Homo-oligomer: A and B are copies of this chain.
Amino acid sequence: MAARTVKLAVIPGDGIGPEVVAEGLKVLEVAAARHDLAVETTEYELGARLWHRTGETLPDSVAAELAGHEAVYLGAVGDPTVPSGVLERGLLLRLRFDFDHYVNLRPVRLYPGVESPLAGATPEDIDMLVVREGTEGPYAGAGGVLRKGTPHEVATQDSVNTRFGVERLVRFAFAKAAERPRKKLTLVHKDNVLTFAGELWQRVVREVGAEFPQVCVDYCHVDAAAMFFVNQPARFDVVVTDNLFGDIITDIGAAITGGIGLAASGNINPGGTFPSMFEPVHGSAPDIAGQGKADPTATVLSAALLLDHLGVPEAARRLEAAVAADLKTRTPGEARSTSRIGDDLAARVAE
């Protein structure tokens, strides 16, 4: 019997979500077992089907049950039959906000053997960690509309940035930077234009930075950062940024490291008051759903972030090593099915 059992809530979600989560769980369970950890899962049917049946995205009773788990593992939400944003806001963002996932952790790593669209890029060039804010900024949902439908209509959309929210994120990012060999932290913002928010972010980075004299601090406007992700990715080690900038630059990060099929993320509540949530960066890809074509690797790598969060880094490294080994063997155009990739990864983890 395993020394410890973790209670994991599983939300397969929509589109390819169920397929990739099935493989993620397969690999996660083997990796956990190798390190004396059992995984007890409870599955929740949330997403488009529930919404069509009941009009609900996240019933309060379900939210309360989820809160009783140590972590949440999510596939993807979103479906063409549901108006844009309903599931994203009603389920995904609601969980991030309700569970105070103020750290959205997104590693951007080029694995050996993976083809980057950037000519000549090597794994040494691209190895960063984006620490994206997850509970405020432009995602606050603040704003409004005046005189809708008239020529005088005005729609506003407000970014809300708090000292509390920025400081705890920035401190987390510095701590991560301090643990890494390069010890470099880059703030990405647009302080020459977004002066109110930008000045707060800059000041917090300066003040918290005083606690981390070993970390080298840099600043980059978001437009320049977007460019440097493409033509000088080696500039970056840890990147700290707001919710919207983080959304954009981590998709560039996914693009330069071989695509969204490999990009993992963790929505972390560092204090542990609420369960953290792990999910691939990609969406539900309804066009290829149910065909066994989806690459489960991003979901598997998200399980590595989960294992790290649970304090079992050896299992996380084992899982990442399995992925790294698998990626090295891939050939362009090979067409292993979703479950075959999961089987292969599970077998490597079991080795």
Contacts and interface: CB of A to CB of B under 8 A. Distances in A.
Interface of A: 84-85, 88-89, 93, 115-120, 138-139, 141-145, 147, 150-164, 190-200, 222-224, 226-228, 230-231, 244, 247-252, 254-256, 259-260
A260 B193 CA distance: 20
Contact of A195 (B85, B249, B254): B85
A89 B195 CA distance: 10
Contact of A196 (B150, B155, B196, B231): B155
A190 to B, nearest CB: 7
Contacts of A197: 143, 155-157
Contacts of A247: 190, 193, 222-223
Given A192-B88, A248-B223, A251-B226, A160 B156 contact: yes
Contacts of A227: 251-252, 254-255, 260
B231 A251 contact: no
20 contacts: A85-B195, A88-B193, A138-B194, A143-B194, A145-B200, A147-B163, A153-B163, A154-B162, A155-B161, A155-B199, A157-B195, A158-B159, A222-B247, A222-B248, A223-B247, A223-B248, A224-B251, A226-B226, A226-B255, A231-B259
Q: List 10 A-B pairs, minimum CB-CB distance, nearest first.
A: A85-B192, A153-B163, A230-B255, A223-B251, A143-B196, A155-B200, A119-B119, A227-B251, A157-B197, A227-B255
Contact of A156 (B161, B191, B231, B248): B161
Given A155-B196, A222-B247, A226-B226, 18 more contacts: A85-B198, A88-B193, A138-B159, A143-B195, A151-B163, A151-B164, A154-B160, A156-B158, A157-B195, A158-B159, A193-B247, A222-B248, A224-B251, A226-B252, A226-B255, A227-B251, A227-B252, A252-B252
A154 B142 CA distance: 13
Contacts of A222: 247-248
Nearest to A85: B192
Nearest to A144: B196
A224 B116 CA distance: 17
Nearest to A233: B117
A144 B194 CA distance: 10
B223 A145 contact: no
Given A152-B163, A164-B151, A251-B224, A231 B193 contact: no
Contacts of A142: 156
A198 B158 CA distance: 13
B192 A84 contact: yes
Contacts of A190: 244, 247
Considering residues A150, A200, A231, A248, which has the most beta carbons from chain B within 10 angstroms of its beta carbon? A248
Given A119-B117, A161-B154, A193-B93, A226 B248 contact: yes
A160 B252 CA distance: 26
Contacts of A199: 145, 155
